[in-house]
């Protein structure tokens, strides 16, 4: 398990040189410092910092409209930032250098495809755009499109088109893959398949930046998660250790003699349990439905993203 | 680097051609519709060679406009709104190679269609082979650049694909009617003639007519070429300045 990082090495807005700041550690795949994006008066991204390490799956988790897609599209080179420093595989994505685009695979939130090509033709064409492409049939298998290889894309279902999105993003054998809400609209089985694909990318040593508004997806896939809301990062860390203070609080619950549920919060469950159980034993009672729980990612998320 | 760009453009061009022929309705509108017009008006005017001499270059001019202006306004709107442009933008394919492939494909349609009209004019309507091939090529080339640029520029103004036919036809149909596709523009009322004089299609048809029928030569139609060039310059500026790789958000 990767341990929690407490925050960026540099202050927001400072002109960081991310590659040089972590002496000894390999340069991160993505470094973001003090990133802001304004549309007129509206600030979609309000000064965020994070690193994505090489070989990890990093999740940007947040409700709709939180600024996830804006952030990712700045990193992909689609949008120009208003402020801050961004470094993707050693490049500034705003300059749209071809070398960077050859090393990056992009699954957009939604994007169309040529309707009159077959799956295999599309992938063959795409593979010709990259210097070291993967084998087309291998990618078709990986994306789970083996049965549809010679089908025209306009005959594919929504889920199959999404798999084609994956396949087109992977055929160039990229080091870094952006997945913007890759499973939105999927049924549970299709989601599991997509998750397996992401895990296989991780096993191949690829770096993945994933946005999602599904907690279970972040929990299942991401090595580290940043929770983003209204253009600000509220928390960052491994999914299991997220939530700083609230994660250290345990909840102890049981039913009292009247059958009412009693809930107590503590940072030291050992002594609380000792007191509770000791008192109960002294009275010759049982603590019905006794449980000790830690907050889940969901609790942390809901607490952090609650309005007001 | 240049040869690689040329190779990628060629690759994109071949893909565009393959997709074009796989879309029967596009193929129909590009090739059968002008032939249908030619057949209908040819039948109506069959007794008058002078009318046929007007209609053949007229349909050739219309073909140039429909294969570039209309086709690119539709295609670029479709590709933009479908998100294909955005997807392609995320690949290493240079923009020039991508857009070049699309443009070359449109030019191929223009060349095929003008050739069909010339051959049909010779075989069925008694219009001789073009008298001035150089003038024909120069005017078709100028028309292609002008109308392709204007078509791309128009796509920037079209908010979504559903409304594309309305936008395109609102321009295409009136322009072909007043520019003398179906009759000699000199017979139109003067206010329509004045409008047509300011637009490029009438001048393209004048040039084509000069090349195909009158044999007047390039020098005689230099002013027509100038008007087309001015529209081409306006179109190119608008096409480049308004270009968007992403779906409109409203």
* B19-75 residue pLDDT tens: 999 887 777 777 788 888 888 888 887 778 888 888 889 999 999 999 999 999 999
Mean pLDDT of A265-287: 88
Nearest CA to B82 among B197, B186, B162? B162
Q: Which residue of A has its CA nearest to B9?
A: A129
pLDDT at B194 over 80: yes
Strand partners, A266: A250
- CA distances in angstroms from A47 to A193, A233, A308, B105, B155, listed in the order given: 35, 9, 20, 45, 36
Mean local confidence (pLDDT), A275-298: 84
pLDDT in tens, A132-159: 999 999 999 988 899 999 999 999 988 8
A186 has pLDDT over 90:
no
Q: Find tokens 């549809």 and name the residue.
A: A148
Strands (DSSP E) along chain A, which ranges?
Answer: 30-39, 42-52, 57-61, 83-88, 104-107, 176-180, 207-212, 224-229, 232-237, 250-255, 261-266, 288-293
Q: Radius of gyration of chain A from Cα atoms?
A: 23
Task: Look at strands A42-52 and A30-39 and give their pairing.
Answer: antiparallel
Residue A92 has pLDDT above 90, yes or no: yes
| B positions 58-97 inside 8 Å of A (CB) | 79, 81-84, 86-87, 89-94
* pLDDT at B172 (0 to 100): 94
C-alpha A27/C-alpha A238 separation (Å) is 19
Which of A111, A161, A167 should be substituted to probe chain B, the one whose Cβ sees the most B Cβ atoms within 10 Å?
A111
Q: Chains A, B: CB contacts under 8 A, how many?
A: 60
What is the value of ipTM here, to two decimals? 0.85
Using alpha carbons, list the distances in angstroms from residue A73 to A33, A40, A80, A291: 16, 18, 9, 44
Q: Which residues pair with A48 in a beta bridge?
A: A35
Measured in angstroms, the CA of A74 and the nearest CA of chain B are apart by 12
Residue among B79, B93, B246 minimizing CB distance to A129: B93
Which residues on A lie below 8 Å from B19 (Cβ)?
A: 114, 116-117
Q: Which residues of B touch A106 (CB under 8 A)?
A: 87, 90
φ, ψ at A192 (rounded to 5°): -60, -40
- The nearest CA of chain A is from the CA of B244 a distance in Å of 11
Mean pLDDT along residues A165-192: 91
Q: Does B48 touch chain A (CB under 8 A)?
A: no
Average pLDDT for residues A37-63, to the nearest whole number? Answer: 94
Tens-digit pLDDT profile for residues B199-247: 999 999 999 988 888 776 777 788 899 999 999 999 999 999 989 898 8
Query: Which chain B residue's Cα is nearest to A171?
Result: B91
Looking from the CA of A122 toward its CB, the CA atoms found within 13 Å total 30
Write down the pLDDT at residue A7.
40
Q: How far is CA A122 from the centre of its chain?
A: 28
Which residues of B are less than 8 Å from A111 in CB distance?
A: 82-84, 86-87
Q: Would you say residue A15 has pLDDT above 80?
A: no
Give bridge partners of residue A30 from the DSSP assignment. A52, A88
Decide which of A267 and A4 is more confident.
Answer: A267
- Residue whose C-alpha is closest to residue A276's, from A297, A253, A260, A295: A253
Percent of chain B scored above 90 by pLDDT?
Answer: 57
Residue B204 CA to residue B163 CA, distance in Å, equals: 28
- Measured CA to CA, the distance from residue B215 to residue B133 in angstroms comes to 9
Task: State the smallest CA–CA distance between residue A101 and chain B in angstroms.
Answer: 5
Sort B191 into a burial class: Cβ within 10 Å, 0-12 / 13-18 / 19+.
Answer: exposed
| pLDDT for position A9 | 41
Residues in B closer than 8 angstroms to A116, CB to CB, are 18-19, 22-23
């Amino acid at each position: 398990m990767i341990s929690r990082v407490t925050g960026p090495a540099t202050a927001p807005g400072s002109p960081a040189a991310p590659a040089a700041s972590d002496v000894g550690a390999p340069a991160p795949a993505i470094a973001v410092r003090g990133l802001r994006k304004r549309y007129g008066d509206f600030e979609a991204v309000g000064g965020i910092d994070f690193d994505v390490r090489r070989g990890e799956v990093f999740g940007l988790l947040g409700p709709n409209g939180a600024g996830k897609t804006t952030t990712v599209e700045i990193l992909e080179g689609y949008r120009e930032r208003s402020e801050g420093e961004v470094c993707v595989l050693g490049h500034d994505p705003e300059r749209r250098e071809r070398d960077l685009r050859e090393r990056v695979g992009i699954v957009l939130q939604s994007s169309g495809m040529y309707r009159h090509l077959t799956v295999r033709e599309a992938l063959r064409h795409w593979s010709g755009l990259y210097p070291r492409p993967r084998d087309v049939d291998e990618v078709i298998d990986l994306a789970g499109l083996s049965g549809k290889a010679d089908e025209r894309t306009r005959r594919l279902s929504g889920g199959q088109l999404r798999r084609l999105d994956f396949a087109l993003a992977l055929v160039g054998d990229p080091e870094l893959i952006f997945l913007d809400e890759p499973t939105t609209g999927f049924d549970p089985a299709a989601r599991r398949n997509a998750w397996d694909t992401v895990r296989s990318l991780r096993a191949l040593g690829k770096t993945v930046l994933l946005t999602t508004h599904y907690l279970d997806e972040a929990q299942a896939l991401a090595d580290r998660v940043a929770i983003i809301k209204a253009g600000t990062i509220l928390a960052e860390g491994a999914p299991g250790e997220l939530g700083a203070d609230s994660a250290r609080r345990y909840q102890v619950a049981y039913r009292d003699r009247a059958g009412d549920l009693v809930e107590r919060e503590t940072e030291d469950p050992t002594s609380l349990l000792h007191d509770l159980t000791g008192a109960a034993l002294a009275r010759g009672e049982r603590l019905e439905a006794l449980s000790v729980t830690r907050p889940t990612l969901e609790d942390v998320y809901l607490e952090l993203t609650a309005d007001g | 680097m240049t040869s690689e760009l040329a190779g990628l453009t060629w690759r994109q061009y071949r893909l565009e051609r393959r997709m074009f022929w796989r879309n029967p309705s596009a193929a129909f509108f590009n090739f059968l519709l002008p032939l249908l017009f030619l057949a209908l008006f040819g039948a109506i005017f069959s007794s008058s060679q002078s009318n046929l001499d007007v209609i053949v270059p007229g349909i050739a001019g219309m073909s140039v406009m429909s294969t570039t202006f209309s086709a690119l306004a539709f295609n670029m709107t479709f590709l933009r709104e479908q998100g294909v442009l955005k997807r392609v933008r995320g690949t290493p394919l240079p923009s020039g190679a991508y857009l070049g492939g699309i443009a070359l494909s449109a030019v191929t349609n223009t060349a095929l269609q003008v050739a069909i009209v010339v051959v049909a004019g010779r075989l069925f309507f008694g219009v001789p082979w073009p008298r001035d091939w150089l003038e024909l090529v120069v005017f078709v080339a100028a028309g292609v650049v002008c109308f392709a640029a204007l078509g791309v520029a128009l796509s920037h103004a079209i908010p979504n694909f559903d409304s594309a036919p309305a936008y395109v036809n609102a321009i295409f149909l009136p322009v072909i009617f007043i520019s003398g596709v179906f009759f000699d523009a000199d017979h139109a009322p003067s206010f329509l003639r004045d409008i047509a004089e300011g637009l490029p299609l009438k001048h393209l048809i004048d040039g084509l007519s000069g090349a195909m029928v009158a044999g007047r030569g390039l020098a005689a139609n230099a002013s027509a070429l100038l008007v087309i060039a001015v529209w081409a310059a306006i179109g190119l500026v608008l096409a480049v300045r308004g270009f968007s790789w992403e779906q409109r958000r409203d």
